[in-house]
Amino acid sequence: MLRNGLEPWHLLIVAVVLIVLFGSKKLPDTARALGKSLRILKSEAKAMKETDPQ
């Protein structure tokens, strides 16, 4: 069933479900907030690696 991983139609179904749940107006704001959160997480993880004495 999942031996081939995600196929394009899986991603299409996920996209349709997200649009139905959140609406097309909220999706760009949600994506922007998620991207900002990921950038903050990445920079904090990098800072932790740099200050680690090991």
In a domain, 1, yes or no: no
* Total domains, the chain: 1
In a domain, 6, yes or no: no
State yes or no: pLDDT of 15 exceeds 90.
no
For CA atoms 43, 41, 30, 18, the dihedral sign is positive
**The whole model's pTM is what?**
0.53
19 Cβ contact partners less than 8 Å away, ≥ 6 residues apart: 27
Name residue, tokens 């922007």. 32
User: What local confidence, expressed as pLDDT, does residue 29 receive?
Assistant: 87
In a domain, 48, yes or no: yes
If DSSP codes are grouped into helix, strand and coil, which group holds residue 8?
Answer: helix
Domain enclosing residue 50, as ranges: 24-54
Residue in 26, 28, 46 with CA at minimum distance from that of residue 38 = 46
In a domain, 11, yes or no: no
At 35, the pLDDT band (50, 70, 90 cuts) reads very high
User: What local confidence, expressed as pLDDT, does residue 4 receive?
Assistant: 65
